[in-house]
Amino acid sequence: MKEYDIAIIGGGVLGNTISYWLSILYDLNVCVIDKEHDVAIHSSTRNSGVIHYPFYLNSKVKKNFARAAFLSHSMWKVLAEEKKIPWIQGGTIEIALDEGQHETLEKYMIWGKENGLTEEEISILDHNEIKQKEPNVDCYSGLYCTKEGSTNYGLLTHAVKDLSKNNDVDFLFNCNVNNVIESSDQNEIIFSDKSSLTAKFVINCSGGNSLDIAKKFGLLEGYSDLHFRGEYWIANSDIGDLVKTNIYTVPRYTEFPFLDPHWIKRANGDTEIGPNAVPVDSPESYDSFIKDIPTALSKITDVITGSAKKLLVNPQFISLLSKEFHSSISKSAMVERVRKFIPTVRPENFPKRGTAGIRTPVITPDGEFVSDMIEIFGKNSFHIVNYNTPGATGAPAYSAFVIKRLQENGILDKPRESKNSIWNFENTIEQI
């Protein structure tokens, strides 16, 4: 049985950036565990690719998360340039369709400045100014962020993996965590094929599976989660430049994890519309509503017996669910959402589906969606649950913050002089 100092469960963007910081700061025996055949198979690749800036994050409630998103922009850009990974900085306009939504943009403007953006980087444009910039967009107003753009987080994650691997981090694939046995000084991690390893400390950052992993450590027992697939449609090339900027819309239902429609300019040159939020049975149900019968039955049981059941008596939630199902079945329904701000688009302009991704919001014991990350220590473990957007954007700086938390809690010693690194740990921490 192999022994490790630190085992990281989850080979996504967060697990890889944490492994990289550990590899340059410490001489520890570190592994990254993933149940798939490679890193970044799920949400780290299956996302919009947008480089987010934190103008829409409450500067007081989500201070560290917002700061991480702000600082990580330059960190990712350095890596993208070195590895020749696509990086397009075309900006984003968050639009308001009425005066009420405009008030939200004014709030975003305040948060954006408090989170580090300047007046040159964010500004509110009125209807006429939007028309001058994007003649085919029809809206009340918009918040324009010049710094946003698009990249490929899957490629960035693979680049970080290579850096960690060069620093002797082990990557263990096709290892599905089945059980955990905790003792006073270590964890035994048992996989579904009956193989196992031990680790003095475990970091759980397994995305849509993070709550399930946390429960194997006896944590967050009263919590549930739901999986929502976000679907996109790809625009024909002849309308791809109808609007040259990413367009987001102010969320209408902030208490629910339903994203309002986007017009996305991807780094590969595609233009897509989406997403919706279709309930599915697992974090990997990309092409159907049910991945497999046992998984579906397990999720149904969890919903019926857990905190998620309280949502099933919420008429607004049920009504929204029905609309999301409709948008999955009907391309016209999806396009109709976009026509509210780009009136000239038609269903025939979108001949094929884009990449689907899955978001897994966590639900409290009281039956409410958790609005922020959950960070919780176990006996010999640390768990990051409900790590959602702009998680990919903020991963380099946020993972440095995780290392700092572990130092402050006596899990890690003061680091030695770091190896040659593409990112500077001390500079990052000082700015958070």
pLDDT-derived band at 298 (thresholds 50, 70, 90) equals low
Q: Which two tokens stand for residue 386?
A: 């409900």
DSSP output for 208-247: GGHHHHHHHTT--TT-EE-EEEE--EEPPGGGTTSS-SEE
Task: Give the ranges where 352-418 is alpha helix by DSSP (H).
Answer: 391-408
Torsion, Cα 262 263 266 269, to 10 degrees, reads: 160
For tokens 């007081």, name the residue: 60
* 145, 91 Cβ separation under 8 angstroms: yes
pLDDT of residue 249: 96
CATH code of the domain in which 44 resides: 3.50.50.60
pLDDT at 316 over 90: no
Torsion, Cα 381 387 392 396, to 10 degrees, reads: -40
Question: Which whole-number Å values give the CA distances from 314 to 154, 222, 251, 303, in the listed order?
Answer: 37, 19, 19, 14
Q: Which two tokens stand for residue 211?
A: 């709550």
Beta strands in 58-109 (DSSP E): 87-88, 92-96
Q: Can you state the percent helix, strand and coil of the chain, rounding each to 5?
A: 35, 20, 40
pLDDT of residue 302: 65
Mind listing the pLDDT tens digit for each residue in 201-238? 999 999 999 999 999 999 999 999 999 999 999 999 99
Q: Does some domain include residue 379?
A: yes
Strands 149-151, 87-88: pairing is antiparallel
Q: Does some domain include residue 240?
A: no
* 44, 75 Cβ separation under 8 angstroms: no
CA torsion sign for 345, 346, 348, 352 is: positive
* 169, 15 Cβ separation under 8 angstroms: no
Euclidean distance between CA atoms 185 and 379, whole angstroms = 9
pLDDT at 300 over 90: no
pLDDT of residue 324: 86
| Total Cβ atoms within 10 A of residue 352 | 8
Quick one: residue 213, left, alpha or beta (phi over 0 = left, psi -120 to 50 = alpha)? alpha
Q: Does some domain include residue 117?
A: no
The least confident of 249-258, 379-388, 395-404 is: 249-258
Euclidean distance between CA atoms 20 and 160, whole angstroms = 7
pLDDT greater at residue 316 or residue 138: 138
Mind listing the pLDDT tens digit for each residue in 171-201? 999 999 999 999 989 999 999 999 999 999 9
pLDDT at 303 over 90: no
pLDDT of residue 159: 98
pLDDT at 91 over 60: yes
Q: Which two tokens stand for residue 28?
A: 């520890």
What is the domain extent for residue 432?
1-86+151-222+370-432
* 362, 257 Cβ separation under 8 angstroms: no
Q: Does some domain include residue 253?
A: no
Q: Does some domain include residue 355?
A: no
Cis, bond preceding 390 (omega within 30 deg of 0): yes
Mind listing the pLDDT tens digit for each residue in 389-424? 899 999 999 999 999 999 999 999 988 766 789 999
pLDDT of residue 133: 97
Q: Which two tokens stand for residue 69?
A: 């998103």
Cis, bond preceding 275 (omega within 30 deg of 0): yes
pLDDT at 258 over 90: no
Tally of structural domains, the chain: 1
Q: What is the rounded end-to-end Cα distance, in angstroms, of the chain? A: 39
Mind listing the pLDDT tens digit for each residue in 106-138? 999 999 999 999 999 999 999 999 999 999 999
Q: Which two tokens stand for residue 214?
A: 């946390």
Under DSSP, the state recorded for 257 is T
Q: What is the mean pLDDT of the chain?
A: 93
Q: Does some domain include residue 358?
A: no
pLDDT-derived band at 318 (thresholds 50, 70, 90) equals confident
Instruction: Give φ, ψ of 376 to 5 degrees.
Output: -145, 135
Q: Does some domain include residue 32?
A: yes
| pTM of the predicted structure, to 2 decimals | 0.95
* 63, 116 Cβ separation under 8 angstroms: no
pLDDT of residue 289: 65
The pLDDT of 252-270, averaged and rounded, is 87
Task: Give the ranges where 190-346 is alpha helix by DSSP (H).
Answer: 210-216, 293-305, 315-329, 331-339
Q: Does some domain include residue 257?
A: no
% residues pLDDT > 70 (the chain): 95
pLDDT of residue 287: 85
